[in-house]
């Protein structure tokens, strides 16, 4: 009854793990990472920003229409004062009037005016003209006034700057798309390696458990033989040490597996408390493509190369923008005033026109910017050539790593069979009293090492394939080999 209760308690404890563990294949892990990984989301946002910038570049070709408004206060009314001209006119008219009056007086048979009479007539004319001629002071704009106007500007020719800016924005968008593809390839590679590492550690833990079980069985056999006086105490102690060593190795690898699972969850965007079950297993599938095929694939698909090609276009357009500063800038403009009552007699309500600007000298800044843009073009050329060489080297190294790991795995198959037979023979000899404990332990440790080396070779094989597919530009192609 007590045994049944214990079994029920154990079942209750493991039920959540059974029913709520998430089964994850390599394909599902990659999809999760591409959906949830923060770095992928970061570069998706960056691509979205570049897309909007590219669309915004079209706006440079369209007119710019602004509504400008202000309230203004001057120190005084804005006036035009022609009083000096008025005074001169009055004086000239008064003098002429005095002379005419003197002539009329003489023609009438009278004597000419004396100086006193001329002065009197002159003053009378001055007074009459002062009253008859209005003031020559005009207020053009009041001290306080409002101003509001629509102002439109349409670029007509900017030396190719607008076209270059649009091509630059388009190249930057494409470069960002290739950069996102590069990041996705890297994440796929990291997730794949992490998945392989978990599978490897699971196999190692299984191997360690088998070794521990075998060592315990050997310890029990050694203890029976010791009690029967068939072996020395040394052999029993050696078996006990082997059990302790096997327990230590198992504990270390179990801890490594737990840490690898935590790292995997972080990489694919799962919560730490989520329970996962890796459904795939490490199995050998032959690599079908040749080295030359991978080199050709890299030329076509490698996003790093494509990204640098777009950066080269950006550098060319940056040079075109710098060169445009040596050409005239032409634009049409228009203005329409919304407060005509505040305009002076000298200001129109609306105006349209064309304006041109051509810089003659600005301290050689434009020339130096052009030289800088040219140097950037050369820099990108060197980066492009160096990157192609590095990627070819990357592919060559990864391909050879794949072949070396495949050879190692294949050779360990026959070695494993020999180690299994050696362990079986030594165990049989020891149990019959003809062998030593050391021989059994060494045989089992040799078998353990070969089993682990075989798993490690398979892990290295697929890790190298992941690097190879990343180098060729299409990391997702790894799944075709994995799921073969």
> How large is the angle between the packed helices 365-431 and 437-472, nearest 10 degrees?
160
Instruction: Indicate the burial class of 405 (C-beta count within 10 angstroms; 0-12, 13-18, 19 or more).
Output: buried
Phi, psi (deg, nearest 5) at residue 357: -140, 135
- Rounded mean pLDDT of 243-252? 92
Q: How far is CA 107 from the centre of its chain?
A: 104
Phi, psi (deg, nearest 5) at residue 289: -80, 155
Distance CA 150, CA 156 (A): 19
- pLDDT tens per residue, range 276-297: 999 999 999 998 889 999 999 9
Q: How does DSSP classify residue 80?
A: E
311 vs 80, which has greater pLDDT?
311
- Rounded mean pLDDT of 352-381? 91
430 vs 194, which has greater pLDDT?
194
Quick check: 224 pLDDT over 70? yes
In our burial notation (b when 16+ CB lie closer than 10 A, e otherwise), range 47-59 reads beebeeebeebee
Among 447, 459, 474, smallest CA distance to 215 is for: 447
Quick check: 9 pLDDT over 70? no
Distance CA 318, CA 313 (A): 9
Among 349, 348, 351, 346, smallest CA distance to 139 is for: 346
Distance CA 112, CA 109 (A): 9
Instruction: Indicate the burial class of 35 (C-beta count within 10 angstroms; 0-12, 13-18, 19 or more).
Output: exposed
- Rounded mean pLDDT of 432-437? 73
Q: Which CATH class is domain 19-63+159-327+362-482?
A: mainly alpha
Q: pLDDT > 90: what percent of the chain? A: 52
* In contact, 28 and 278? CB cutoff 8 Å: no
- Rounded mean pLDDT of 237-248? 88
> How large is the angle between the packed helices 161-227 and 437-472, nearest 10 degrees?
170
CB atoms within 10 A of CB 400: 13
Quick check: 93 pLDDT over 90? no
| SS3 labels along 259-312 | HHHHHHHHHHCCCCCCCEEECCCCCCCCCCCCHHHHHHHHHHHCHHHHHHHHHH
Least confident of 114-123, 187-196, 382-391, 421-430: 114-123
pLDDT of residue 295: 94
**Per this entry, what is the length of the chain?**
484
- pLDDT tens per residue, range 27-58: 999 999 999 888 999 999 999 999 999 999 99
Among 198, 261, 275, smallest CA distance to 19 is for: 275
- pLDDT tens per residue, range 66-85: 999 999 888 888 777 777 88
pLDDT of residue 130: 73
Q: Which of 101-110, 322-331, 391-400 has the highest mean pLDDT?
A: 391-400
- pLDDT tens per residue, range 459-480: 999 999 999 999 999 999 999 9
CB atoms within 10 A of CB 453: 15
Confidence of residue 17 (pLDDT cuts 50, 70, 90): very low
Q: Mean pLDDT, the chain, as a whole number?
A: 87
Distance CA 387, CA 443 (A): 50
DSSP string of 366-396, one letter each residue: HHHHHHHHHHHHHHHHHHHHHHHHHHHHHHH
CB proximity list for 343: less than 8 A, separation 6 or greater: 141, 337, 349
Torsion angle defined by CA atoms of residues 81, 85, 90 and 96, in that order, rounded to the nearest 10 degrees: -170
């Amino acid at each position: 009854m007590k045994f049944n209760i214990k079994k029920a308690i154990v079942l209750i404890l493991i039920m959540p793990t059974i029913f709520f563990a998430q089964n994850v294949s390599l394909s599902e892990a990659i999809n999760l990472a591409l959906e949830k990984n923060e770095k992928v989301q970061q570069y998706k946002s960056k691509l979205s920003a570049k897309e909007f910038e590219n669309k915004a570049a079209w706006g440079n070709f369209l007119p710019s229409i602004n509504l400008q408004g202000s309230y203004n206060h001057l120190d005084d009314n804005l006036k035009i004062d022609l009083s000096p001209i008025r005074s001169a006119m009055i004086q000239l008219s008064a003098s002429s009037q005095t002379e005419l009056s003197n002539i009329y007086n003489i023609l009438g048979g009278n004597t000419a005016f004396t100086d006193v009479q001329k002065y009197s007539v002159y003053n009378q004319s001055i007074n009459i003209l002062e009253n008859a001629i209005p003031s020559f002071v005009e207020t053009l704009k009041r001290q306080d006034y409002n101003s509001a106007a629509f102002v439109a500007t349409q670029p007509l020719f900017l030396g190719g700057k607008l076209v270059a800016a649009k091509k630059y924005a388009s190249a930057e968008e494409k470069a960002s798309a290739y950069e996102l593809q590069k990041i996705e390839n890297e994440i796929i590679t990291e997730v794949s390696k992490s998945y392989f590492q978990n599978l490897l550690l699971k196999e190692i833990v299984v191997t360690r458990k088998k070794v521990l079980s075998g060592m315990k069985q050997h310890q029990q056999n050694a203890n029976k033989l010791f009690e029967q006086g068939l072996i020395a105490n040394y052999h029993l102690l050696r078996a006990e040490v082997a059990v302790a060593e096997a327990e230590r190795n198992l504990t270390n690898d179990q801890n490594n597996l737990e840490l690898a699972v935590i790292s995997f969850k972080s990489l694919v965007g799962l919560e730490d408390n989520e329970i996962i079950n890796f459904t795939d297993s490490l199995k050998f599938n032959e690599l079908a493509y040749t080295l030359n095929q991978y080199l050709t694939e890299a030329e076509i698909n490698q996003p790093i190369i494509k990204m640098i090609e777009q950066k080269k276009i950006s550098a060319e357009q940056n040079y075109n923008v710098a060169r445009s500063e040596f050409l005239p800038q032409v634009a049409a403009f228009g203005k329409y005033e919304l407060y005509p009552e505040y305009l002076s007699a000298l200001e129109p309500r609306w105006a349209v026109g064309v304006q041109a600007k051509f810089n003659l000298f600005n301290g050689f800044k434009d020339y130096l910017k052009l030289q800088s843009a040219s140097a950037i073009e050369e820099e990108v050329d060197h980066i492009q050539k160096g990157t192609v060489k590095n990627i070819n080297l990357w592919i060559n190294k990864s391909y050879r790593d794949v072949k070396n790991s495949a050879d190692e795995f294949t050779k360990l198959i026959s070695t494993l069979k020999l180690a299994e037979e050696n362990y079986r023979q030594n165990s049989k000899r020891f149990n019959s009293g003809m062998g030593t404990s050391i021989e059994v332990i060494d045989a089992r440790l040799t078998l353990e090492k070969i089993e682990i080396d075989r798993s490690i070779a398979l892990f290295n094989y697929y890790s190298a394939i992941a690097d190879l597919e990343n180098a060729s530009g299409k990391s997702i192609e790894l799944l075709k080999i994995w799921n073969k």
